[in-house]
Amino acid sequence: TSWFDVCTWPINLSEPEGPEGMEEAVELVHGMLNKLLGEGLPAEQIFLGGFSQGGTAALLSGLTYSSRLGGLISISGWCAYREELAKKVNAANSAVPVFFSCGRADPTVDFELSKKSGEILTEILGEAVSV
């Protein structure tokens, strides 16, 4: 199963900015977060994380969420909407702590995409991100 469709393999810098199904994945995650908040869990105690596509979905979902989260973790993920991600970040999570990691020899996600994603996150979040 997957969170959204990918067009390139390995996934690289030519991957479309808004992969098909990404918005639906974000809506799904936002719905899960809303449910947790509705059950009384404080948003600051919620950490979103994922591996590969899950890391990509966690980053976009967390950065665009309207309540301040505890933190985001992406392992072998990448930034979707690289050109416009800064505009998509909700003010509530503009300084949310993020751990972003990748490998140099990942057979699925090209290192250049991971490197660019780390640079983008650093530009947007500053010291809040650990790459």
Cα distance between residue 107 and residue 28, in whole Å: 28
At 19, which amino acid appears?
P
pTM to 2 decimals? 0.91
16 pLDDT more than 80: no
Residue 108 neighbours by CB under 8 Å, 6+ apart: 9, 10, 11, 52, 76
| CB burial of residue 7 (10 Å; 0-12, 13-18, 19+) | exposed
Which DSSP category does 49 fall into? E
Task: Note the pLDDT of residue 36.
Answer: 98
pLDDT for position 15:
76
Question: Which H helix or E strand runs over 53?
Answer: helix 53-64
Residues 54-93 have pLDDT tens digits of: 999 999 999 999 999 999 999 999 999 999 999 999 999 9
- Average per-residue pLDDT for the chain: 91
pLDDT at 4 over 60: no
Using an 8 Å Cβ cutoff, are 8 and 15 in contact?
A: yes
